[in-house]
Amino acid sequence: MKMTAYVGGVGMTPFGKHLDKGLKQLGALAINEALADAGIDAGQIQAAFMGNAAAPIITGQLCIAGQAVLRGMGIGRIPVVNVENACATSSTAFHLACAAVSAGQYDIVLACGFDKLYHQDKALSFKVFTGAIDVEGVADVYNYLAERARRHGETFDIANAGADRSVFMDIYADWIRDYMVATGATARHFAQVAEKNSYHGSLNPKAQFRDMMTADQVLAARPIVAPLTLAMCAPLGDGAAAAVVLSETARRRLGLDKAPRVAACLLGSGWDFAPGEAPMAAQLSKEVYEQAGIGPEDLSCVELHDATTPAELMYYEFLGLCAKNEGPRLLESGATRLGGRIPVNTSGGLTRKGHPIGATGISQIAELVDQLKGRAGARQVAGARVGMAENGGGFIGSDAAAMTLTVLTV
């Protein structure tokens, strides 16, 4: 669908450990900030798409999380759709909001993602991620990972997968080993991504981690799954992010001339790939560029899903920021650092900003809006005009189960 939607306002909480705050409080903080940014009140919202992924396990809240958050703010009567789509949950909510506005159903729609992942029992937190693979095929996935690890001379620790770490760290490690063979990438490259993003995150007052790390410190951090160390992996976190999506009519009526336009917003799902077929991100990126009428050379900045830092290098290639197998070289050139040709993850990315999975996608949108409106402070990309967000989640077959790609322009 051709999008004719605008982002009138965004808001987000700081990401991190919020043991003293529930879903309702976190959601309200982000929503109120987005409403204030758009210059509207809650009574002007005509529909809401509310994204949450972990609450059923962490808090016990099922089925009506969106209504619970909104009722706590005095918002009711309007259509509310609860959305869950793995780590792409809130970007899916944003996609649905944009589609509803573009179809002419509504003029002002709220999209929100809110989540809690911290729990005293860390195994319960990791259970959320185990549920993001096919639970009727867990044995098949584990056997697949074990066989793939053996090919690289590694061992898949089945006993502790999903118990002392997210099983997605094992999935990423599998992809990463192939990538290292194909490109010559090393663990130091992955540490350099972490170093870069720690610098970006140090400039973001809402980032979960704001300390700067050197590549040597990243390499010396606690091992998780070879070749990953703790500092190369996104942390558990709590938080919320929200966006107010507007029609052209509403944008004009509200006088929001600088509201970024949604040039494209695509949602895809994993499938069984034919041998040699490009992964979903590479295929969707071609479609999103076509829909937006741009190419990767037109991008000012990118927020992408670095659940592990090596994934950032892989997505450089999938998104066309560089040629195949050239991710390490692009990093080494400094192009993806603030001040470079195409800064990536100026927010600090998932590994530094944080990754409360139901809120992550819209937090990327919030960063792009701040960049395009020239209000990102010390991490501002000069002259930013076009931004892209890539947000993926879950695992099906041999790829992500869900993925969104969004392009915003001013």
Active site residues: 87
Place of tokens 């940014």: 37
**Of 296, 300, 304, 301, whose CA–CA distance to 391 is shortest?**
304
Judge contact between 305 and 392, C-beta under 8 A. Answer: yes
Q: How many CB atoms lie within 10 A of CB 79?
A: 12
Sequential DSSP letters for 324-359: TT-HHHHHHHTTTSTTSSS-B-TT-HHHHH---TTT
- Give the residue from 7, 5, 39, 13 showing the smallest Cα distance to 247: 5
Closest CA to 398 of 252, 305, 277, 240: 277
In the chain, DSSP finds a helix count (H) and a strand count (E) of: 15, 11
Alpha-carbon distance 284 to 207, whole Å? Answer: 28
